[in-house]
Structure 1
Amino acid sequence: MRSIGEMGRDSGLGVSALRFYDRAGVLVPAWVDPVTGYRWYAPEQLGEARLLARLRRSGMPLADIRLVLAGWAGGDTGLVPRLLDGHLRRLERGLAEAREELSTVRALLGHKETSMTTATAPARLTVPGDGLAAALDAVRYAAGGDPELPVLCGIHFDIEGDALHLVATDRYRMAVARTSATTTGTGGGRVQVTVPVPLADAMRALLSDDAPAVLTVDGDGVELETRGGRVAGQSLGEDFPDYRRLTRLPEGRRLALDVPALRRALGAQETEVCVLVLADEVTVGDEDGAGGRVGDRVGDRVGVNPAFLLDALAAGEELLLEYIGPKAPLVLLRPDVEDVFSLLMPVSLEP
């Protein structure tokens, strides 16, 4: 007999997926301990679980997965191939339709002028060193690393008026921080530049105190000078997404976070997805979403990547979580600092 953890490791299905398929009646354990509730699987169920994992990765609907597994178990050699062929045809039709729609989008993008303002003269920005250091620290964790999306492999500097906003995102999370600044040479306009992560890290290494730092943007060139030294390099040559549009979200329910307790609970997680239970307080539930009951009320359940949430919790010891809905980004705010926040995309709790 295999425990649920062993079954998950050997089959390629996560523990949370095995729990889901048990509740859905698709892959039911051979035995469940009536005292502990632990699930145990018979040796012959491993092949079925591996087949289920492959069907899941192919995107087959749950109703068809049921029939395939039933046919597999019953030795039906006719039904299963027809189901596989039907699913493949649906995927091919979907891909053809997606190609057509994306071709239309590419054509539309080709005719759309960029909204980014390009400075005609070098822009110089004087900013407190400790303020820029804090802003870099607040967003650095969210920078992407996907070579297919190089523009996200950097930190975006948005200079407008007396404010400098720093933004980073890897699509699954976004961090935004603001610091005050004094600008010259922008003509009152907005200047945006995306700094590669290695260059941003080199900038951060120069910022050790509150002494002013001077940032210069000249076309694609970026330079930071402090009394401790100077670093310069080239910006990323692609337009960064309109982060202001991405952060325009409806107001949600705000909950104070017990940051130390959440860090301890998240640090003990061994899965890629954990469940947050949002009631009068925010707690980490088990993979079935247990926990979080306050009186007669059960909190909302939302799946998160525990490692990503831990990164966001590094922003401070006093944080608020704004919950908009199960499919909307979670917003983590610092109540003591304006314009410093993180967005974290929820993770589906169903396979």
Structure 2
Amino acid sequence: MPNSELMPIGDFARRSGLTSSALRFYADSGLLRPAETDPVSGYRYYDADQVARAALLRRLREIAMPLAAAGAVLDAEAVEASRLVDEHVAKVVGDAAAARQKAALIKYGLGDVPSLPIAALKGPVLADAVEQVLTATAHEPGLPVLAGLRVEASGEALTLTATDRYRLSTRTLVPAEPPDRSWAGTVDGDELRAAVTEIRRSALVSLEAVPHGIWLRVAGREHRHCRLLPGEFPDHRLMLASLGEVTTRVTVSKNLFLRAMEEHPGRRIALHVSADGMTVRPSDDGHPGLPLPATSSGPALRICFELTTLYPAVSTAIGPDVMLDLRGHDQPVTIRSADRGDLTTLAMPVGPGHSA
């Protein structure tokens, strides 16, 4: 007779989240043998200590880990098990990306796929612009467009825009070959990031729109396909057009500003702008702050930001100096290069006691 503390396979299945048939399969494969098997009936019994192993095995199989790899994780120490899980996930993601690209090539090769040339740009210029603007993206459930890059082609320019609702970053490029007609779409930001290396190594990149995506075509290299994201992109043009008048303007060294934020003790930053320059302080004023040499005009102003909003907005600015256009303590600030205006970022301030 089995030990009274052992569970029959049905009870163990309910506690572990595995079916009885799956438990029999894992027992036969050696991954999860029963604690005891009745020699007469062949019925299998499990110990309560086996529940954790069974639950882990179930989760590993839910991420499509092969049996051999799952067995290695189950028998490994925590650090090695974590490494094996990361290795498996990286392979799954890589395989999925490769399959997506191959599927795009297959669909394109089927013929009669309508396409529209958008524009042609120098690869390094496009790569830099994509990386700069994508810093303002975010992955939020139910809002896939916030993880995308809005691409708009019209007239003589190509505009790239991204927003996470706390920041908005936009850059306008002059194509080597201007757009034939207007086009707009929100391109998957993760797939664009994956394509940046190929883009940067290409002298010229041609953008071509197809149903549900765009092609990045480069001479002598593998063309890359990026999907379009569903949903309506936030009306950034309306937001830009509705900005209030600039009341205070300050120009400061980008590197000094970034260093001050890196050394800042808190997660919220207060900027104090006056005729004497700019001081970076904690938002609760419990620290004397770090004064920075800066040129300013307009009335003195105190404005607060989350570090995670302000730092990337400043770090992606072009050139040695950044210019901040301030409209009040509760209005968006425009952050741009002091001498090049083709990359512009808006950052939303917060109140001193705000909790993001």
Helix, strand or coil for the counterpart of 1:257?
Answer: strand
Relative to structure 1, the CA distance from residue 137 to residue 184 in structure 2 (aligned partners, 3 Å threshold; closer, same or farther) is closer
Counterpart of 2:281 in structure 1 is: 285
AA at the equivalent of 2:326: Y
Structure 1: distance between partners of 2:178 and 2:213: 17
Q: Kindly indicate whether the alpha-carbon contact (under 8 Å) linking 1:202 and 1:231 is maintained by their aligned counterparts in 2.
A: no
Q: Kindly indicate whether the alpha-carbon contact (under 8 Å) linking 1:139 and 1:167 is maintained by their aligned counterparts in 2.
A: yes
1:267 matches 2:262: yes
Relative to structure 1, the CA distance from residue 123 to residue 241 in structure 2 (aligned partners, 3 Å threshold; closer, same or farther) is farther
- Per-residue CA deviations over 1:65-88 (Å, capped at 9, x if unaligned) read xxxxxxxxxxxxxxxxxxxxxxxx
1:327 matches 2:350: no
Alignment of structure 1 residues 37-52 onto 2, 5 Å: none
- Per-residue CA deviations over 1:193-245 (Å, capped at 9, x if unaligned) read 11111211123121225711000112322110113331103201222122111
Counterpart of 2:132 in structure 1 is: 138
Instruction: List alignment gaps of at least 5 residues for structure 1.
Output: 1-119
Helix, strand or coil for the counterpart of 1:241?
Answer: coil
AA at the equivalent of 2:333: L
How far 1:347 moved relative to its partner? Answer: 1.0
Relative to structure 1, the CA distance from residue 302 to residue 321 in structure 2 (aligned partners, 3 Å threshold; closer, same or farther) is same
Instruction: Pick from 218, 222, 234 the counterpart of residue 227 of structure 2.
Output: 234
Counterpart of 2:69 in structure 1 is: none
Structure 2: distance between partners of 1:321 and 1:298: 14
Instruction: List alignment gaps of at least 5 residues for structure 2.
Output: 1-113
1:247 matches 2:213: no
Counterpart of 2:350 in structure 1 is: 347
1:218 matches 2:210: yes
Q: Kindly indicate whether the alpha-carbon contact (under 8 Å) linking 2:271 and 2:281 is maintained by their aligned counterparts in 1.
A: yes
- With 193-202 and 244-253 compared, the bigger mean Cα shift is at 244-253
AA at the equivalent of 2:278: V
Q: TM-score, normalised by structure 2?
A: 0.59
Relative to structure 1, the CA distance from residue 180 to residue 298 in structure 2 (aligned partners, 3 Å threshold; closer, same or farther) is closer
Q: TM-score, normalised by structure 1?
A: 0.60
AA at the equivalent of 2:199: L
Helix, strand or coil for the counterpart of 2:195?
Answer: helix
Counterpart of 2:185 in structure 1 is: 193
Helix, strand or coil for the counterpart of 2:349?
Answer: coil
Relative to structure 1, the CA distance from residue 160 to residue 293 in structure 2 (aligned partners, 3 Å threshold; closer, same or farther) is closer
Q: Kindly indicate whether the alpha-carbon contact (under 8 Å) linking 1:269 and 1:306 is maintained by their aligned counterparts in 2.
A: no
Relative to structure 1, the CA distance from residue 293 to residue 139 in structure 2 (aligned partners, 3 Å threshold; closer, same or farther) is closer
Structure 2: distance between partners of 1:217 and 1:225: 11
AA at the equivalent of 1:226: V
Structure 1: distance between partners of 2:337 and 2:257: 16
Structure 2: distance between partners of 1:267 and 1:212: 37
Structure 1: distance between partners of 2:216 and 2:299: 51
Helix, strand or coil for the counterpart of 2:185?
Answer: strand
AA at the equivalent of 2:208: T
User: How many residues matched?
Assistant: 227
Structure 1: distance between partners of 2:339 and 2:179: 29
How far 1:136 moved relative to its partner? Answer: 0.9
How far 1:342 moved relative to its partner? Answer: 0.4
AA at the equivalent of 2:256: A
Alignment of structure 1 residues 1-351 onto 2, 5 Å: 122-181=116-175, 182-183=177-178, 185-186=180-181, 190-209=182-201, 211-227=203-219, 228-248=221-241, 249-252=243-246, 253-280=248-275, 281-289=277-285, 299-314=300-315, 315-316=317-318, 317-351=320-354
Helix, strand or coil for the counterpart of 2:129?
Answer: helix
AA at the equivalent of 1:225: R
Relative to structure 1, the CA distance from residue 318 to residue 229 in structure 2 (aligned partners, 3 Å threshold; closer, same or farther) is farther
AA at the equivalent of 1:336: D
Structure 2: distance between partners of 1:177 and 1:184: 16
Counterpart of 1:89 in structure 2 is: none
Counterpart of 2:3 in structure 1 is: none
How far 1:271 moved relative to its partner? Answer: 2.5
Between 1 and 2, higher relative CO (CA 8 Å, sep ≥ 6) is seen in: 1
How far 1:282 moved relative to its partner? Answer: 2.2
Report % sequence identity.
25
Helix, strand or coil for the counterpart of 1:309?
Answer: helix
Q: Kindly indicate whether the alpha-carbon contact (under 8 Å) linking 1:155 and 1:197 is maintained by their aligned counterparts in 2.
A: yes
AA at the equivalent of 1:255: V
AA at the equivalent of 1:254: R
AA at the equivalent of 1:242: D
Structure 2: distance between partners of 1:279 and 1:328: 18
How far 1:298 moved relative to its partner? Answer: 9.1
